[in-house]
Structure 1
């Protein structure tokens, strides 16, 4: 049995979690008399893979997994699309790990609230932060707070049963939906919006979502990206599912693909196959059977490239959205490193639903853990969090970078060195 149990203590009318076994009277972990203990915060895929690796690599380590929700598996449960049950099969492996004699799962424990990271550090030899990215990245445009605008994280959480998204109740009474972002999550959302309701009934999608989708009026979904077909972030599997989605047909803009075929000879095979499928879908005349299928389709979808959101447009009441204004971009550079640059042109797209799928961001878990709010990460060196004041030390090799710059500057004026006088400048040189 794992040596770290949680006791719920009641004091002054408030409940408080305290680590029990494995802590000496002075509050320090009794390392000398205990086998090594590792705490993992978060029970998603990363947390379980970490636990699995530790248990296999070391025969003398106990692992405790803490989870804020009463249920485990994180994004496998709440992120994977309901029509992708094969991806969720990994839960079987995670279950074996959770039932291992040297692994314990503790759900409904909110680290940072019920128990502090400081307390965990006192009780364990190592604490692994694997709590994921719970925040939404903001588009940073006017109107994004209007009714009818949702983050993909919340929208996916709604149809997958994430407790804090159960009241989302998106308005699906419009004809056109716009999804910002062209990764796999964006395609998941598009596919769920357009899938035949009978096929969704066979999945683990939530009943409220199923009922709402059964009444949905959405029949056109545009998947918008700021760069071009050569930079799209989805995989060929997800694209193929969209291409073959029953009851739908693709609707592309041919000019978005100018020059793409010529550029394919120099790209890696996975990117080449993905782009070839897009080109075939967008530009080639389909065969007789496929054309017949498309003619019968009642719903359409399509990629829109070289577009960035600049404003969500409100209806006359100013209470909900009526459309989205997109900036038209051009690319500078090529391949994965190509950058989207504004052309000055704009385009308004009428729609009643906008789903922002531009990524998630991590949030601070505990005041005692250093957190870079700008980058939305816990600062670390090769995965190791620098605790205390969150100081990132300068190594000797970092100093040698400073030394080299100072001597180079000194040579210009005939001096042995020209010292850097600003700490921020020193750190900037050391970390380049």
Structure 2
């Protein structure tokens, strides 16, 4: 399926000449930041990157637009749908012993701790099926060290270790975007991301997500590569690694994963997700926008849109569009946005007549509708993102800009137009 998707992109850049997986691949992904790139020969493999590096490309693939994309993700997270279990999958055609060193796993930046799997998602099953993104630094032919943030997969792994067991998982790579977006959501423990992906698929394509039961663990049939693996109780240094802000994350002791078996489709395409690139922004940031939307909607009934901005790495800065019904709604929206995405550092709240996807319009609203002594909200010493290098010990100062029109002077703040 991935080949069909990649070759359908009108702005696809094809690199025919041989490219090395260590550092050289990164040069092309940085050169064509917002364009999908297909490498025909990365040490004998085909590799694709920057596939989902624009909001518009993602929306178009899911048969919607920017506003519809937010609504689609919000609805899928609120109302997950069952996936469909089938008997066949293309990746079952090829079954091999794993050698991670022979795969086109890139070393993206000079100071990286090693080659990194960045687009892979891990599927685990205990009380429910969990799917989540986890970077993995290759150690040798069959071992990698996995970064486990203390969330759902970490809890599953910790439970297994406490019972003297290793956690059996499936690692999938080369996935369609609805599965990637679902895997990056932050939902309550017990909610399966596979069902979120299924809800997106149903809305976008009219069919549920299809999975095959691979030795007890539901595995999406559209994955290019599937690995049987187990997360052990052994740990090793993980990092350095360039995270979404384009700066290096710290080195930590993290669990070791043992890769036991590999499946792949005929002529597979390896998905290389550039750390700190636009695709990283989209896949990590877009699933957070519905969370902000849901939070703001609790305090302001009419919320028209939410956008995490590329300038803020689609993680630290946001813009929210509302219709004010009362003075103070702008400031309430600011506080609600921070609650909806705790890593958020700055939020700008604007009226519905401002296009939040146009940075110039947002800045115009700040320039003409905002006064710092009246409309600025500063929250010092708040828990923020560990990825923000300007923070200290996880603490940051958050600031909100209320760039909405005063209700009693709305006409004075309207932008001139030819509409009568």
Same fold (TM over 0.5): no
TM-score (norm 2): 0.22
TM-score (norm 1): 0.21
Computing the radius of gyration from Cα coordinates, the structure with the larger value is 1
